[in-house]
Structure 1
Amino acid sequence: MDDNFKHSQILLLPEHMEQHNHNYNQIVITLSGQTQFDIDGCGNIVCAGQGCVVSADSEHTFSGIGSNKILVLNIPPGDAAALEGIGNEQSSAVFQRSEKLFSQSSYFRLDSQAQNLAHLLGSEISAHPDDRLLSKACSDTLICVLQRHFGSQGEKGGRNRLNMDALDQYIAAHCAHKISVMQLAGLVFLGESQFYLLFKEQTGMTPHQYVLKKRLERAKELISQSQFSLAHIALSCGFSSQSSFTQAFSNVYKIPPSRYRRSNLYP
């Protein structure tokens, strides 16, 4: 590995989009502000307390949105140094969990304890940017925290119930943007297929159907409680056009949004 390679560092992302890939795994945690990432064609706004896993050789673009600060962890695949001092059996188990963590790119949300830890370690890295031992120790610590999150969810499997409050908050905050299964799965530290099955079992809907329901509920509120145009409401609720919004609204509520607005103005 290059002598200039850093296992962890604090960065401020520029507002213009940049694109690259690299032969090592990476975890990005937004400490403050907002950033935008697109990993292998799946884009997301990553707010403070959220992050993403970028698997080695994944094409990704990124930019900052205004003032921002991110913590970046760079992890070479199969990093033997991370396993020093661990017995062979333990080493194998840790290696398998690490491989699972980076098996595919994903987005996630940190719990409050992990967020506090990320901020604390980030402050140490900022104060001592050239301390390579500290850089490696901070990276290993946060990797272990994330492995614990992902690992515990996987071990509990179908017996675990999804945190719908966290999912609803994320959908509400990102209603104007595309929301993928990968993004939702990352919030609860699950793989896409496992999340999909558990979500459908718990809600009786697919993630796509549920997100559409939430978009339309929000649109219905805006029609009733605001003077925004239908075109504006359509875009702010994540529809590509007013016509696609009108069609979806009419299919679900059996009345076009324009007529629904008139019925609320003149009951």
Structure 2
Amino acid sequence: MNLSSLNFSLESASRAKLLSPRPAELITLPSYMDCHEHSYTQIVIGLKGLVEFEVSGVANVVGTGQGCVVTASTDHAFGSLAHQSDILVLNLPYPAEDDSLILQKINELSKMDIYFQLDSSIQKLIDMLVQEIRSSPNDLLLSRACSDTVLALLLHHISAFDVHRRESRFDLEVVDRYIEQHLSRRISIAQLAGSVYLGESQFHQLFKEQVGVTPHQYVLKKRVDLAKTLIEQGRFSLGQVAELTGFSNQSTFTHTFSRLQGVSPSQYRKRFYR
């Protein structure tokens, strides 16, 4: 290998290391349901509040001292049920040889019990570790030590708790309700999928089959329909209408409205106010 190739390899490795998730992370979850997957296994432990999780069709509420296993490439939806919900996330992206046995045992655990309950002694230890992470959030060595300690103890001191299987199905009423509540903001396909506990690709396919248009087209129509109502009421400027209906700017709003309605927003307004 020549010097330039070696430098490129080192730079690539450094970038990959920087992009890799930290071994242990403290995260505050949003109040809306989100949905995604990733190429590595995660252990999620509740610290504060209540979090609703759905992993592979199995749903449960995770509170303080409870948790779940999300294995690599598994669709999962999640969202806070409280004003603020904090979780500890242990990421197992690229196990070294000495980690492979732990990862194997964690994967085996998830096949039996996706959700688990910690005993009181482990909860106290985790509280202490979390305080250390909060005081030194950029200490990678501390993050790794926390992850290793908790993982080793989990294999001996957890127990399953009751879960219920949520039937993954397409429910347009739920999707509509989510859209109506968030229409003034950006709405991603992952968020819509999470609202009905479906993976993003499965949701997109079911939506197109049952509604006849893509989720993106459906949301755009909802935005324009609301814009028409606001224009007819005459209480807002066109710039305000664009903002209230979730368009990034007035130019995008005008272009989309004109394409779907055949007239511009200003022309549409002249039908009611001259």
Q: TM-score, normalised by structure 2?
A: 0.50
Deviation at 1:23, TM superposition (A): 3.0
Instruction: Give 1:239's aligned amino acid.
Output: F
Give identity over the alignment, percent.
Answer: 34
Within the alignment, does 1:252 sit opposite 2:246 as a pair?
A: no
The corresponding residue for 2:89 is 74
Task: Indicate whether 1:169 and 2:177 are aligned.
Answer: yes
Displacement, 1:212?
0.4
Which whole-Å CA distance do the structure 2 matches of 1:260 and 1:253 have between them?
A: 9
**Cα root mean square deviation, aligned:** 4.8
> Where does structure 1 differ by over 4 angstroms across 4 or more consecutive aligned residues?
24-30, 33-36, 48-57, 75-83, 139-142
What is the CA-CA distance between 1:140 and the residue it aligns to? Answer: 7.0
Q: CA deviation at 1:256?
A: 1.4
Aligned pair partner of 1:130 in 117, 124, 127: 124
Give the SS at the match of 1:170: helix
- For 1:193, the equivalent position in structure 2 comes to 201
Deviation at 1:74, TM superposition (A): 3.2
Between the two proteins, the alignment pairs up a number of residues equal to: 182
C-alpha displacement of 1:131? 7.3
Q: Distance in 2 between matches of 1:49 and 1:200?
A: 30
Compared CA separation, residues 21 and 75, structure 1 to 2 (3 A): closer
1:242 to 228, 250, 263: 250
**Which residue, out of 91, 94, 97, partners 2:111?**
94
In structure 1, the gaps of 5 or more residues are: 1-19, 41-47, 58-66, 84-90, 99-120, 154-159
Confirm whether residue 233 of structure 1 aligns to residue 241 of structure 2: yes
* Alignment check: 8 A CA contact 1:181 1:207 kept: yes
Deviations along 1:71-99, one digit per CA (max 9) or x if unpaired, are: 4253555767778xxxxxxx47716x95x
Give per-residue Cα distances to partners, 1:133-187, cap 9 Å, x unaligned: 9x97xx9768x748x34xx42xxxxxx4x11111111111111221111111111
Judging changes above 3 Å, is the alpha-carbon distance between structure 1 residues 187 and 263 closer, same or farther for their aligned structure 2 residues? same
Q: Higher Cα Rg: structure 1 or 2?
A: 2
Seen in structure 2, the aligned counterparts of structure 1 residues 50 and 170 have a Cα distance that, compared at 3 Å, is farther
Partner of 2:5: none
SS at match of 2:272: helix
- Distance, in Å, in 2 between the alignment partners of 1:166 and 1:218 is 18
CA distance 1:221–1:92, shift in 2 (3 Å)? same
Residues 179, 34 of structure 1: CA spacing in aligned structure 2 closer, same or farther, 3 A cutoff? closer
Residue identity opposite 2:23 in structure 1: N
Q: Distance in 1 between matches of 2:257 and 2:213?
A: 18
8 Å CA contact retained: 1:249, 1:257: yes
Residue of structure 2 equivalent to 1:210: 218
Amino acid in the other structure paired with 2:85: I
Distance 1:245 1:82, change over 3 A: same
Tell me, yes or no, if the aligned pair for 1:171 and 1:179 is still in contact at 8 Å.
yes
- In 2, are the aligned partners of 1:219 and 1:234 still within 8 Å (CA)? yes
Using structure 1 for the length normalisation, give the TM-score: 0.51
Q: CA deviation at 1:211?
A: 0.6
